[in-house]
Structure 1
Amino acid sequence: MIWDLFEIAAGLALLVVAGDFLVRGAVNMSLRLGIPALIVGLTVVAFGTSAPELMVSVTAVLDGVPGIALGNVVGSNTANILLVLGLPAIIAVIRTDEHDMRKSYLTMLATALLFIAICFLGPIGWGDALVLLAALTLMLWDQITDALAHRAEREDTPLEGADLHMRWTRIAFFVGLGLVGLPLGADFLVDGATDIARAYGISEAVIGLTLVAVGTSLPELATSITAAVKGRADVALGNVVGSNIFNLLCIIGIAGLVGPMAVPAQMLRLDLWVMLGVTLLIAPFIFYHLPFRRTVGFGFVGLYAAYVVALMSGAGA
């Protein structure tokens, strides 16, 4: 038990640190190769910040515990809205009238509906994975086209970790540590979580939906809280929408190519609908430009706590 907890803690630490190294290295490598910063932000950074979830899900499928892979993604999307938006809203008001997020929100909603439909059609296999990856390609192409059309507005936005004068040896060091640390951290986390689930009779899906999901959402949570403290709480909203789209299309898409994933019955009954419900919950804020105030933040965090209690109660029943 103690060793399992150590594996989980070590795995989470490795995922957070290695993910940061990989993003820094990849961003600077891309910029040194002459790729525009706005394209890097929409592709390299988006992929890099989702690397912890990706490695955990792929490792889980390879280890024969696909429940953790699916629970990780579904749970992360739920946690992203209720926690990654809720906690920063407690610190500072998240405004929604400074940027038009309607198109991005509708993309996130459509992605969630597509994913739910695929889950109900049976085990997620390579055919489903190709559909998700095709949708990801279309989404990225649309984002890049839109970014290029508004290049003058977006090019001034600095990329975190960007240093045009970083040496190639340092870039290689960052990328190398990221590529080594991510699979190692994922392996530790999946092994520890699986052992605990089996020891206490908790389903792999519940472990994925709670412990693993929150753990792999830590980078997004840390980014959003830091932004709120610095008075840029609005950053949290874009962070959540982009992460949720990428989680379903990219992570499940790639994991589905690695191996088939049977969808647990509990996920079909409850968890997918919770994910969809919290996605719909923020629609009025997006379309009517309502701010996420402290009371909303407390409400979101309270809803997440109630959801976790319900999951654990069901697991122990």
Structure 2
Amino acid sequence: MGALLMEVVALLVGLALLTLGGDGLVRGAVALAARWGVSPLLAGLVIVGFGTSSPELVVSLQAALGQSPDIALGNVIGSNIANILLILGICGLILPLTVQANALRRDGLAMVGATLFFLLLVRDGSLGRPDGLMFLVALAAYLVWSYRTERVHPEGPEVALHQAEADSVRPRPQALWLSWLFTLGGLALLLVGARLFLWGAVAVGEWLGIPQALIGLTLVAVGTSLPELAVSLIAVLRREADVAVGNILGSNIFNILAILGVSSMVQPLPLAGRLLAVDQWVMLAAALALVLFLLTGRRLNRFEAAALLGGYVVYVAFMAM
């Protein structure tokens, strides 16, 4: 029992370090970007989008290196499902999310495209190094597409959205050394937190008799999605619905193209039975439902948010059966 208590403590401490590290990394990087005159696209889309996904990256990478592919893949698939069904479900219940369709159309379609690309590449039951390279090439193409779009239309809604995303996490003006401290300190906390969190999650899951795929889909996925939850909730409380939704779209794109790209380049990832048979399709259904809600009614009302949240409850209950 003493060993289990230690593992639970490691899990909770690791989760806290992941959350603090992700927040510190994003805030420090955005402050440095502002000091160096980085464009709204890079600050909002790349730094905030990738930064809030940094816990997923570090955890999935360490899981892949530790020969735990079910956790590496389950973390990404589960995070994408939780980002839409759980986080936007909660945010939409707090405040109906009225959005500018033009600002989100590109990223919404890119998210669905990345999800379909994932389904295409895992048809053989694994992600190898060539698949990882294709993910990273697709990520580069998406960033070039975004840059060219926003350079041609610098006053467009996408630029305003990414500027708002950067502003939502930018700290007050601070000394250069403090920005670097936030950035490097956040990265260090992520690395230590990921190791503790993974050790605790796997140990607790084994004690409870839970397969590693389910640990990745639930406990690890929700834990690493806390930065996305924090950014989206703050945006909702500020009545910035575009930022709340844009943060989730960007995070889901990076989760597939960047995190699985890097992880499968480092270590090929075989796909477990239920991830291939069930969970990847739930991820696709969630992505399509969100884009449908946003591009038809240009809002996520409380009824639709309740449907998303209810869908997550049913999904988790189904896993427990």
> Per the shorter chain, which TM-score range?
over 0.9
Please say if residues 83 and 221 of structure 1, whose CA atoms lie closer than 8 Å, have aligned partners that are also in contact: no
Please say if residues 96 and 289 of structure 1, whose CA atoms lie closer than 8 Å, have aligned partners that are also in contact: no
Point out the structure with the larger helix share: 2
RMSD value, Cα: 1.9
Please say if residues 101 and 294 of structure 2, whose CA atoms lie closer than 8 Å, have aligned partners that are also in contact: no
> What SS is found at the alignment partner of 1:6?
helix
Matched ranges for 1:230-309 at <5 A: 230-309=238-317
User: What is the TM-score normalised by the length of structure 2?
Assistant: 0.91
Mark the runs of 5 or more structure 2 residues left unpaired by the alignment. Answer: none
Matched ranges for 1:158-237 at <5 A: 159-162=167-170, 165-237=173-245
Structure 1 residue identity aligned to 2:280: L
> What SS is found at the alignment partner of 1:121?
coil
Please say if residues 31 and 37 of structure 1, whose CA atoms lie closer than 8 Å, have aligned partners that are also in contact: no
Q: Which residue in the other structure is 2:89 paired with? A: 86
User: What is the TM-score normalised by the length of structure 1?
Assistant: 0.93
Task: State the shift of 1:168 in Å.
Answer: 2.0
Counting aligned pairs with the same residue, the percent is 39
Q: Aligned to 2:99, which of 89, 96, 100?
A: 96
Q: Aligned to 1:28, which of 23, 27, 31?
A: 31
Task: State the shift of 1:263 in Å.
Answer: 0.3
Q: Aligned to 2:13, which of 2, 6, 10?
A: 10
Structure 1 CA distance for aligned equivalents of residues 171 and 84 of structure 2: 31
Sort the Cα spacing of 1:188 and 1:102 in 2 relative to 1 into closer, same or farther, 3 A. same
Structure 2 CA distance for aligned equivalents of residues 32 and 234 of structure 1: 25
Please say if residues 94 and 291 of structure 1, whose CA atoms lie closer than 8 Å, have aligned partners that are also in contact: yes
Q: Which residue in the other structure is 1:127 paired with? A: 130
Q: Which residue in the other structure is 1:69 paired with? A: 72
Task: State the shift of 1:101 in Å.
Answer: 2.3
Q: Which residue in the other structure is 1:312 paired with? A: 320
Aligned residues: 313
Sort the Cα spacing of 1:294 and 1:37 in 2 relative to 1 into closer, same or farther, 3 A. closer
Structure 2 CA distance for aligned equivalents of residues 210 and 274 of structure 1: 13
Sort the Cα spacing of 1:163 and 1:84 in 2 relative to 1 into closer, same or farther, 3 A. closer
Sort the Cα spacing of 1:230 and 1:163 in 2 relative to 1 into closer, same or farther, 3 A. closer
> What SS is found at the alignment partner of 2:97?
coil
Structure 2 CA distance for aligned equivalents of residues 234 and 31 of structure 1: 21
Sort the Cα spacing of 1:172 and 1:100 in 2 relative to 1 into closer, same or farther, 3 A. closer
Sort the Cα spacing of 1:229 and 1:25 in 2 relative to 1 into closer, same or farther, 3 A. closer
Sort the Cα spacing of 1:100 and 1:169 in 2 relative to 1 into closer, same or farther, 3 A. closer
Please say if residues 99 and 241 of structure 2, whose CA atoms lie closer than 8 Å, have aligned partners that are also in contact: no
Cα deviations by residue, 1:79-120 (Å, 9 ceiling, x for unpaired): 111011100111111113464422222211111011011112
Structure 1 CA distance for aligned equivalents of residues 259 and 201 of structure 2: 19
Structure 1 CA distance for aligned equivalents of residues 284 and 142 of structure 2: 20
Structure 1 residue identity aligned to 2:15: L
> What SS is found at the alignment partner of 1:120?
coil
Mark the runs of 5 or more structure 1 residues left unpaired by the alignment. Answer: none
Structure 2 CA distance for aligned equivalents of residues 136 and 117 of structure 1: 16
